[in-house]
Amino acid sequence: MTIDATFWVAISFFIFVLLLLYFKIPSKVKNILDENINKIKIQVEESEKLKEEAKNKLAEHEKKIVGSKSEIQKMIREANELAEKNIIKSNEIFHQQMDIKKKNTEEKIKQLKNQAIKDVKNASVNIAFESIEKLMLNSLDKSKLDKIYNQSIEETKLALQKKSS
C-alpha cells in the first residue's frame, strides 16, 4: 500500500485536532468567546440604562419646556394686564389735567368778561360825566340841550361799539 499525500494530510489533521484537544484550545476559545459575549451583554445593558436615563432626562426637559411655556404665557398675560392698567391710568391722568386746564381757562374767560364789563361801565360813566360837563359849560337853552343830549348818546354808542370790537 502506498501511502500518498492525502494519508499524511489526514494523519497530521488528526494530530492537530488531538493537540488542540490536549491543550484544551476549544475550551479556551469558548471561554474567550463567552467573555466577549459577556462583555457585549454588559455593554448592551449599560447602553440600555443610558438610553433609559436619556429618555428620563428628555421627559424632564420636555416637562421643563412645557412649564416654561406656561410661565412665559403667564408673564405675557401679566405684562399685558399691567400695560392696560398703565394706559387706563395715563388716560385718567390726562383727562384730569384737561379738566383742570378747562376750569382754569373758563375762570380766565370769566375774569376777562368781568373786566370788560367794568371797562364798559367806566367808559360809559366817563362819557356821561363829559356830557354833563359839556352841558353845564354850554347854555341851558332847550334846543341846545336836546342837541347835546343827542350828541352824547351818539358818542356813547360809538364808544361802546369801539370798546366791544
Please enumerate in sequence order all residues whose Cβ is within 8 A of that of 134, keeping only pairs 6 or more positions apart, or say none: 148, 152
Which range marks the domain in which residue 114 is found?
Answer: 28-164
For 123, other C-beta atoms within 10 Å of its C-beta total: 15
Kindly state whether residue 6 falls inside one of the protein's structural domains: no
- pLDDT averages per 10-residue partition of the chain, 165 residues: 83 90 87 95 95 93 89 92 93 93 93 87 80 67 73 81 71
pLDDT, residue 137, reads 66
Q: Is 9 a member of any domain? A: no
Answer yes or no: is 105 within a domain: yes
Residue 23 phi/psi, 5-degree rounding, is -85, 5
pLDDT score at 138: 61
Q: Which residue is associated with the grid cell 449599560?
A: 46
Asked if the structure places residue 134 within a domain, the reply is yes
Tell me what pLDDT residue 92 has. 93
CA distance between the termini of the chain = 160
Q: Rounded distance, CA 108 to CA 114, Å?
A: 10
In a domain, 14, yes or no: no
DSSP state for residue 140 in the 8-state scheme: -
Q: How many domains does the chain have?
A: 1
pTM higher than the cut 0.85: no
Q: Do residues 37 and 31 make contact, with C-beta atoms less than 8 angstroms apart?
A: no
- The DSSP code sequence of 40-83 is HHHHHHHHHHHHHHHHHHHHHHHHHHHHHHHHHHHHHHHHHHHH
Q: What's the pLDDT tens digit per position in 111-152?
A: 998 998 888 888 878 877 777 777 666 655 667 667 777 888
Residue 3, in any domain of the structure: no
8 A C-beta contact, residue 135 and residue 145: yes
22 is a domain residue: no
> How remote is the C-alpha of 99 from its chain's centroid?
29
The x, y and z cell numbers of residue 148, run together, are: 347835546
